[in-house]
Amino acid sequence: MGAEDITDTNEVSHAALATAVLADDVGTWDADLEITPSPRAETHYQKGYRTSAMVGERWLVSDVRMYSGFAGHGIYGWDANAQRYTAVWVDTVSGAIAHAVGRFEHDTRTMTYDFEVAHAGKTVRYRETFVTVDKDTQLYTHHIALPGGGEHEMMRITYKRRAAT
C-alpha cells in the first residue's frame, strides 16, 4: 500500500493563487532609477534592467543590474507554513542578507515588503513597494525610517517590460 495523500487542497489552492501574483513579474524589465540618499541630498539617475523568472512555479527569482555596476539578487515567494509572502535580498552594497515579510493588496495592485538586515551591529529596517501600474509597467519604491520619525523615499524605479523578441 502506498502512502496516504494528506495534501491540504485548500492550502495548495491558496498558494497557487498567491504565487500567481508573482508570476506576473516574469520577464525582462528596463529600469529607470532615481536615488536620493537622504532628504536634502541631490537625486541621482541611473539606468539598468531586471530579469525575473519563476522557479518551480513557487519562487520568483529576480536579478537587478544597473549600468553603474550595482547588482542585486532577490527571491520572493509564498511561505505556505507561515501563510505569508517572504523574500530575501543580497546586493553589491550590503554584506548581509536582508529578510522580509510581505503582503499584497489586490485593490491597489501593490506588493509591500518589510525588510530587516544587520548593518554595523544594528538591525536596519526598510520598506519596499511594487505597484503594478499596468501589465508592462511597475513602480518600485524603497523607504527608509528617519531618525526623528517618519520616512524617506530613497529610491524610485520605473520598470518597463521589454517586448519579447
Q: What CATH number does residue 122 fall under?
A: 2.40.128.20
Tell me if 98 is assigned to some domain: yes
pLDDT at residue 5 greater than cutoff 70: no
- Using a pLDDT cut of 90, give the percent of the chain over it: 75
Domain region containing 112: 9-161
**Least confident stretch, 31-35, 104-108, 161-165:** 161-165
Tell me if 1 is assigned to some domain: no
Tell me if 112 is assigned to some domain: yes
pLDDT at residue 6 greater than cutoff 60: no
End-to-end CA distance of the chain: 50
Number of domains, the chain? 1
Tell me if 71 is assigned to some domain: yes
Q: What is the pLDDT at residue 119?
A: 85
**Residue 11 per-residue DSSP state:** H
Q: What is the pLDDT at residue 11?
A: 45
Q: What is the pLDDT at residue 17?
A: 77
Give phi and psi for 23, each to the nearest 5: -60, -25
Write out pLDDT tens, residues 13-68: 567 778 889 999 999 999 999 999 999 999 999 999 999 999 988 899 999 999 99
Tell me if 85 is assigned to some domain: yes
Tell me if 50 is assigned to some domain: yes
Mean pLDDT of 149-165: 93
Confidence of residue 95 (pLDDT cuts 50, 70, 90): confident
pLDDT at residue 98 greater than cutoff 50: yes
Three-class SS state of 12: helix
Tell me if 31 is assigned to some domain: yes
pLDDT at residue 4 greater than cutoff 80: no
Q: How far apart are CA 93 and CA 89, in angstroms?
A: 11
Q: How far apart are CA 141 and CA 125, in angstroms?
A: 14
In what helix (H) or strand (E) does residue 127 lie, and over which residues does it extend?
strand 122-134
* Helix, strand and coil in the chain, % to nearest 5: 10, 60, 30
Neighbours of 31 (CB within 10 A): 19
Q: What is the pLDDT at residue 103?
A: 94
Note the pTM of the prediction, 2 decimals: 0.87
Q: Contact, 88 vs 74, CB < 8 A?
A: yes
Three-class SS state of 14: helix
Q: What is the pLDDT at residue 7?
A: 34
